[in-house]
Amino acid sequence: MQRRLTGLIAGVSALGATVALGGCGSSAGSGDVTLRLVAADYGDSKANSSQKYWEKLSTAYEAKHPGVDIKVSVYSWNEVDAKVKAMVDAGDPPDMAQIGAYADYAAAGQLYSADDLLSIDTQADFVSQLTTAGELNRTQYGMPFASSTRLLFYNKKLFTDAGLTPPETWSQLASDAAALKDRGVKYPYALPLGPEEAQAETMMWLLSGGDGYTDTVGSYRLDSQQNIKTLTWLKDKLVAKGLTGPVAPGKLNRAEAFAAFTRGEVGMLNGHPTLMKAAAAKGVKVGMVPLPGSNGRSKSTMGVADWMMAFKKNGHAEQVGDFLDDVYSEKNVLAFSHEYDLLPVTTSASDAMTLDKDDADLVDFLDELPNAELYPVSQTSWAAVSADIKRQIGAAVSPTGDPAATLGRLQRDASAAENAG
């Protein structure tokens, strides 16, 4: 097995000793080792809990590596980040954590780098922009685990009945939404800027307006003139004209918007792959197109990645790396992606999905991934900035809202958080 062993070799050299490294197919290291993994639950019921996925994977791994025991604890997304933080704060971190962000732990020097853990083949197989997003100071600490991109979803029946075609520009989107409103559609365009995931909807609109959260060197530029224009257009052309439905955008959460779409009450909204299955189960025929932009289809959409990381506190770098090589095998990556309608984080699994006719519905999302922009997750300030956006951005497009003032306030707080970090 080729493995990047930078950290391990440095440690061995400092001791002036040598060790024999185990090869593939054998127990990773000598003696019995228990590895603890804390992971997020991607399921929506007990029947498809991620606990089942991890139990199947770890059981198969343990059968081939009798000296290694894998203990997995799965928590909901509402609590998993806090669970890991509590463990770290108590001085008892898990060996691995699969959660939403890695940068704080990497900046504190608590994580192994990917170089310390993974085989060269595994590390090279990550989709390139996900590798970059997992880097802090040009070293990869965050290993992408799951990803998705966004497309504009539309209700095919509502569009056909109204004689509409899917929009490519903002003006066409507003025109389609007005026609849907005239026909009594409850949510012509669902704009979820509620506290659940406002940072996502906001980022998609900022990107389609030609800007985003950060500049080319990663510094925040929330109050750019283009971003102000984008939110002003939303406020004046969609919200003020009653084209976003009966619930104020600042009070509408993504889950509620998705549920309304599956009931046939939404004409258009920005969605990710899991919405396809939910809509199909309710008999809603879905169309999907790239996000409209201010002057044509958006040049970039939002991509989202969740992260795997490994803590150094307990050691076991070789065993952790061997297990993660298995986690990131093409078979296991595809199994997870299929179970939860997510995009693979490796090139080999992405290529396999592209060629599989059973995955045809996901190809459009895969096609968007090379040009997708991710949250600025390498910024240790991102968690605080994201929370501020969730709390404040909905007010910016309200009838009494002021997009420039809201974005200016968010920018000042983001700059302060960035400088403090």
Identical fold at 6-148+304-374 and 151-300+381-420?
Answer: yes
Name the phi and psi angles at 185, rounded to 5. -70, 130
How many helices, marked H, and strands, marked E, lie in the chain? Answer: 19, 12
Reported as a pLDDT band with limits 50, 70 and 90, residue 1 is very low
Q: How confident is the model over 341-352, as a mean pLDDT?
A: 95
Q: Are strands 151-155 and 187-189 parallel, antiparallel or unpaired?
A: unpaired
Q: What is the per-residue pLDDT across 5-38, written as a single tens digit (0 to 9) for each?
A: 333 333 333 333 323 333 333 334 445 999 999 9
Instruction: To the nearest 10°, report the CA torsion of 26, 40, 93, 330.
Output: 30
State the pairing for strand pair 151-155/266-271.
Answer: antiparallel
**Lowest mean per-residue pLDDT among 94-103, 134-143, 302-311, 363-372:** 363-372
Nearest-10 crossing angle of helices 225-233, 403-420: 140
Work out the average pLDDT over 228-249. Answer: 98
**For position 14, what pLDDT does the model report?**
34
Residues 6+ apart with CB under 8 A from 415: 220
pTM over the 0.85 mark: no
User: Band of the pLDDT at 65, cuts 50, 70, 90?
Assistant: very high
For β-strands 286-289 and 151-155, DSSP reports them as antiparallel
Query: What pLDDT is stored for residue 31 in this prediction?
Result: 56
Which residue intervals of 20-71 are DSSP H helices?
50-64
> What is the pLDDT confidence band of residue 170, given thresholds at 50, 70 and 90?
very high
Q: pLDDT value at position 299?
A: 87
pLDDT given for residue 47 in this prediction: 85
Length of the chain: 421
Domain boundaries, the chain: 6-148+304-374, 151-300+381-420
Residue 164 is predicted with a pLDDT of 98
Structure confidence by residue, pLDDT tens digits, 239-272 = 999 999 999 999 999 999 999 999 999 999 999 9
Distance CA 274, CA 111 (A): 31
Reported as a single tens digit per residue, the pLDDT across 399-415 is 999 999 999 999 999 99
Output phi, psi for 119, to 5 deg: -65, 155
6-148+304-374 maps to CATH 3.40.50.1820 = no
- How many C-beta atoms lie closer than 10 Å to residue 410's C-beta? 23
Model pLDDT, residue 25: 36
pLDDT of 321 above 80: yes
What homologous superfamily does CATH list for 151-300+381-420?
Periplasmic binding protein-like II (3.40.190.10)
The predicted structure's pLDDT at residue 418: 87
Nearest 5°: phi and psi at 216? -70, -15
Question: What's the CA gap between 247 and 249, in Å, rounded?
Answer: 6
- Report yes or no: 346 and 118 within 8 Å, Cβ to Cβ: no
